[in-house]
Amino acid sequence: MPKKEKKRLQVVISDEQDALLTKAAYELSSPERLVSKSEVVRLAIEKISKELADGTSLEPLLASLIAEEELEA
């Protein structure tokens, strides 16, 4: 996927989310190719977008976001 120069989003994430990103990047990496946390985020965005286009229900994902917001409140 070609990279485009765009203003980067600065998103605040929890330590747990950062650990999950690190773990995913590590598991996707190989000796020949290291995968960065930014690449993991880009892959996740593509996956969500494809699932939405395919009509896959993302209600469980949305429910987890709502639950997280309620815990922060």
Q: What is the DSSP string of 21-69?
A: HHHHHHHH--SS----HHHHHHHHHHHHHHHHHTT---HHHHHHHHHHH
pLDDT at 1 over 60: no
**Which residue, among 41, 55, 47, 35, has the nearest Cα to 9 in the 3D structure?**
41
pLDDT of residue 46: 96
Please report whether residue 3 resides in a domain: no
| pTM greater than the 0.85 cutoff | no
Please report whether residue 2 resides in a domain: no
**Which residue, among 6, 13, 29, has the nearest Cα to 65 in the 3D structure?**
13
Please report whether residue 54 resides in a domain: yes
Please report whether residue 1 resides in a domain: no
Structural domain that includes position 48: 15-28+35-72
Q: What is the mean pLDDT of the chain?
A: 88
